[in-house]
Amino acid sequence: MKKFLCFLLVLILIFGVLSACNFNQTVTDVAANNAKSTSKVEAMITALAENRMSDAEALMHPQAKEKSDTGIAQIKLYIDGRKAEAMTLQSINVTNSVGISGKASQEQVTFKVALSGGEIVHITSYYLSNNAGEGFISFQMVLGVI
């Protein structure tokens, strides 16, 4: 009986060590994937903020470009082929806006989104509008957790 209990204890210890190693590798993989997605999102947001539409669209998944019924282009962010329901958000600053929940003025809107790898925020939507030279464009960004 003692030999059986010792054998069982050894098995439990071996599986515990293997599980711990696998968990650490998984955490490392997730952190690496988050860093890659975050840098892509930051580049896309910077391009949108600086009114560089072709650069922003080049970073988007092909399904991200959609037209609404009104003809206003709504750009929905996609990251690595998945709908970006979307970014882990730390803070938003909109310099000349009337608020992140409404439409900003027709002037070029400059804005900054600071991303954080660990903070979970409620999923919300907001629209920023600017004049991109080809007409009125509304950016829709859904902020939350990937």
For the stretch 114-128, pLDDT in tens is 333 333 222 233 333
Which of 2-6, 13-17, 24-28, 31-35 bottoms out in mean pLDDT, i.e. has the lowest?
Answer: 24-28
The token pair that represents 89 in the structure block: 């958000």
DSSP 3-state assignment of 70?
Answer: coil
Q: Nearest Cα to 75, choosing from 127, 9, 18, 119?
A: 127
Q: Is residue 137 very low, low, confident or very high in pLDDT (cuts 50, 70, 90)?
A: very low
CA dihedral sign of residues 52, 56, 58, 59: positive
Residues 26-47: tens digit of each pLDDT: 444 544 554 555 566 566 666 6
Q: What is the pLDDT of residue 3?
A: 74
Q: Nearest Cα to 128, choosing from 93, 100, 90?
A: 100
Comparing 64 with 136, which gets the higher pLDDT?
64
Q: What is the pLDDT of residue 2?
A: 72
Q: Is residue 136 very low, low, confident or very high in pLDDT (cuts 50, 70, 90)?
A: very low
Q: What is the pLDDT of residue 66?
A: 43
Q: What is the pLDDT of residue 117?
A: 37
